[in-house]
Structure 1
């Protein structure tokens, strides 16, 4: 199932707006019911106020009605095995579980699969703020 998610992330990466870093990134999320939401990084001149690919994908996911995220794929044009930044790890943890599969990709497909909880073992929990 991960290859189609990789392809969605790779297609999203093609739409990246990265005129400053020249570092296009794509991400795709799959929900429990099989829907896929993707996003790319979007840079703006007031760096670092742009959006990461994962953040853009989460925006599409929320606008699409959300649901339980079961898989995530991330790909970059110039870096194999790219991982979400710290902020995106926390954002993803808000909507996915520690057991969610995170696919780290290169230019041809999935290179490594990790659990989201392994990427953010001590993330903030929403119930702490209630």
Structure 2
């Protein structure tokens, strides 16, 4: 099997793409939504251990633990943001190129633009405090 020639395209079912996007939202809501809430609740307040200790080593360990927890929450938030953005991009592509003639003319750069736009929109919603909860329809 060789490298596809330019313009050979990839066969994609528009209905399948919509189904995939909707399933991604449902699955991310089930898994990411619950895990996201648990992680934020358990890790966002910092760690109580070592607060009364006079040991610099304990305080250093506590600090590293807190940083790790913050990074874990940030990573989970970014993963949730990208999962929602990818599902939104898939829906946007399916809606924009819903008929076979339009989809046949779509280029990879069109798809890349849709994904980038969906990610930028979700990040903007996140900054405005209106980020989409995983699994929530947009």
TM-score for both structures, normalised by structure 2: 0.25
TM-score for both structures, normalised by structure 1: 0.26
Greater strand content: 1
Which of structures 1 and 2 has the bigger CA Rg?
2
Greater helix content: 2
Q: Which has the bigger relative contact order, CA under 8 A and spacing at least 6?
A: 2
